[in-house]
């Protein structure tokens, strides 16, 4: 019985990791095409995309949401127990903790902005 429970926990951690890594891939693509980053709080990230739209990510409850140009929103990630966005001159660091059913996964990634090279 104990081994079965531990196996379920391992599987749940793997599911959380897959969710987190999918989110990291998504936000990485968006950040690379963007600029004018700001973090009014550690759990809110706002920036401009390459089309001039305003993108905002924020944590509410145990969800991470995404909004474009101040209208509507999409839940982009669930089971979020903590998120921290840190802006640097050359990109953004994203740290997340996911928790579900007594197990958790933690991870972070630094995403560099797109670099324009002179011809």
pLDDT tens digit sequence for 46-66: 999 888 999 999 999 999 999
pLDDT tens digit sequence for 5-41: 888 888 999 999 999 999 999 999 998 888 889 999 9
Residue with tokens 């989110």: 23
Q: How high is the mean pLDDT of the chain? A: 91
Query: Whole-prediction pTM value?
Result: 0.86
Residue with tokens 């933690």: 106
pLDDT of residue 34: 87
**Is residue 95 scored above 90 in pLDDT?**
yes
Using DSSP bridges, classify how beta strands 91-100 and 54-60 pair: parallel, antiparallel or unpaired. unpaired
CA distance 110 to 97: 15
């Amino acid at each position: 019985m104990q081994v079965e429970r531990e196996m379920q926990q391992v599987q749940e951690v793997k599911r959380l990791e897959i969710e987190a890594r999918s989110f990291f891939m998504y936000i990485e693509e968006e950040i690379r095409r963007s600029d004018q980053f700001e973090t009014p709080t550690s759990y809110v990230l706002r920036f401009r995309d390459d089309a001039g739209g305003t993108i905002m990510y924020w944590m509410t409850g145990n969800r991470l949401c995404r909004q474009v140009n101040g209208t509507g929103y999409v839940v982009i990630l669930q089971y979020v127990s903590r998120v921290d966005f840190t802006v640097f001159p050359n990109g953004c660091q994203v740290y997340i903790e996911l928790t579900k059913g007594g197990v958790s996964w933690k991870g972070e990634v630094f995403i560099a902005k797109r670099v324009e090279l002179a011809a």
